[in-house]
Amino acid sequence: MSPLEQIAKRRAELQAQKNAIERKLVELATAERVFRELGVDLGAGNSADAIPGSGVSADGRKERRIKVKTVVREILKAAYPDGLQAAEIRERARREQNIELNPNTLTVTLGRYKEKGMARIEGKTWFFVPPISGNDDAPPINAGEAS
């Protein structure tokens, strides 16, 4: 077996272990939440850290999830008046907010913003379209002209 094949095999093994551990962590967080709801004292220091994606924080409360559309809108707004390509938006989400955006979800979100006139595209570059009143929910200045 070549060194490259050995590395690929080891990587697959580690990924499988990681997936199994993540499933177990979600199960533990669920059990922890149930115990808390039943009033069982778990004692100090026995709580796991927040588990990404489980919806449960370290203290047993529901995590507040940030919506993809909010992340995308804020990233585009921060870049205004400059625009960003989809890959740049994903990179900024990863770097600045520690969020992995699925490329398909990002494309759909940007398309919806375009339809609402809240973003526009030139080539492969997406731009924030400021609203008339400064209120993000207000229709944009050029809602009918968004391309």
Element (H, E) at 51: none
137 lies in some domain: no
Helix (H, G, I), strand (E, B) or coil at 122: strand
Q: What is the mean pLDDT of residues 47-72?
A: 59
Domain boundary among 64, 82, 116: 64
Distance CA 98, CA 33 (A): 25
pLDDT number for residue 63:
55
**Structural domain for 48, as ranges:** 1-64
Is the same domain home to 80 and 117? Answer: yes
pLDDT at 34 over 90: no
- Tell me the pTM: 0.50
Considering the domain boundaries, does residue 93 fall inside one? yes
Return the H-helix or E-strand segment holding 145: none
- pLDDT recorded at residue 65: 67
Q: b/e per residue, 82-103, with b = 16+ CB within 10 A? A: ebbebebbbebbeeeeeeebee
CA distance 7 to 77: 42
pLDDT at 53 over 70: no
Per the CB < 8 A criterion, the answer to whether 128 and 76 are in contact is yes
| Residue 143 within any structural domain of the chain | no
For the chain, the domain total comes to 2
Across 103-110, average pLDDT = 93
